[in-house]
Structure formats: structure tokens, C-alpha cells
Amino acid sequence: MKLADSTAGAVAQRHSGGPAVTAALDEMVLLEPVHVGDIVRTFAQVNWAGRSSMEIGVRVEAQPWGSAADEPLHVASAYFVFVAIDADGRSRPVPGLMPETPTEVRRLREAEIRRAHRLARKEEIDRGRRA
Ligand SMILES: CC(C)(COP(=O)(O)OP(=O)(O)OC[C@H]1O[C@@H](n2cnc3c(N)ncnc32)[C@H](O)[C@@H]1OP(=O)(O)O)[C@@H](O)C(=O)NCCC(=O)NCCS
């Protein structure tokens, strides 16, 4: 989780051109066990960008120790929400996204679905607490 968060943070900082903090871990799925000695690598990209927040998708792969010729295993995926902040810790604007490839368009559409669910869940919980 730390590795995925660090990778997402690097991508968020690169996209936003400055500091960005983890605001939420939306979902993390663990698909395969990782064993001591496996070589782990991470890949991440900005799926969606709002005013100051970004959804970063992370893929974690592991190359099993002792079987370097095998294809790496997809062992985990996660979606983080990062918020770009200024020197005072307040949110600051980030560049928008211009998806070009079909994969980028798909990632953006799916990130919008997750964001809509996230907001709807929060709204429903808040309403229940006010009642
Ligand atoms: C993240 C943080 C800066 C947001 O502060 P805030 O006062 O809610 O800021 P704003 O109201 O301006 O909202 C900023 C953005 O964050 C988003 N946001 C805030 N909390 C969120 C959450 N829990 N989940 C998803 N998005 C969230 C808002 O939707 C908004 O997005 P937008 O600008 O793209 O529309 C603040 O909560 C914070 O500093 N949290 C601690 C972060 C931290 O310490 N992380 C661990 C170390 S990296």
C-alpha cells in the first residue's frame, strides 16, 4: 500500500507541478500473493482531474523470485484521490486532462463513475446523520 501510495504521489506531483497529498484511498484490490524476494514494480497514471483533486490509478506487478523468464503477475490495483496543495496547505488548481487514446477515455469515464459513487455515498451518509 505504501509503495502504491508513493507511486501515485509522484504521478500527482508531476501532473500538478508541486506538492499533492493523499486525500482518499478509494479502492485497493489484492489479486495475488507477493512473496519475499519477488521483484515488485508499480505503474500509475492520472485517470481524472477536477479543480484541485486527481484520481490516480496504480497497477502493482510482481516478478516471482527465481522465475525471471515468466511474465510478471498483476498482484494489485488501487485508486487514490490526491489533492494539490499550496505552501499553506490549501488546495490549488491542477491542469485538466485531455484524454486521447481509447484507454485514456475509458479510464476517465470509469473514474467519473467512481467519483459519482463516492459523492453519492458521502451525501447519503451525511443525510442519515442529519436525520
Ligand atoms: C486533502 C485536503 C487538502 C482537502 O482539504 P479541503 O479543505 O477539503 O479542500 P477543498 O474543500 O478545497 O477540496 C479540495 C478538493 O479535495 C477533494 N476532496 C476533499 N476531501 C476528499 C475526500 N475525502 N475524498 C475525495 N476528494 C476529496 C474535494 O472534492 C475537492 O476536489 P476538487 O477541487 O477537484 O473539486 C485536506 O483534507 C488535507 O490536508 N487532508 C490531509 C492530507 C494528508 O495529510 N494526507 C496524508 C499525507 S500525504
| Closest C-alpha to ligand 1, atom 27 | 23
Number of domains the chain contains: 1
pLDDT score recorded for residue 69 = 81
CATH of the domain at 84: 3.10.129.10
Is the CB of 50 within 6 Å of ligand 1? yes
Q: What does the pLDDT average to over 12-19?
A: 98
What percent of the chain is predicted at pLDDT more than 70? Answer: 100
Q: Which residue puts its alpha carbon closest to atom 24 of ligand 1?
A: 24
Is the minimum distance from the CB of 24 to ligand 1 under 6 angstroms? yes
> Across the chain, what does the average pLDDT equal?
95
Would the pLDDT of 68 be above 80?
A: no
Does 72 score more than 80 pLDDT?
yes
* Distant-in-sequence, close-in-space partners of 20: CB < 8 Å, separation ≥ 6: 9, 12, 13, 54, 82, 83, 84, 85
Distance 67 CA to ligand 1 centre (A): 42
What is the span of the domain harbouring residue 84?
A: 2-130
Q: For 91-110, what is the mean pLDDT? A: 97
**DSSP summary character for residue 49:** E
Phi, psi of 50, deg, nearest 5: -105, -140
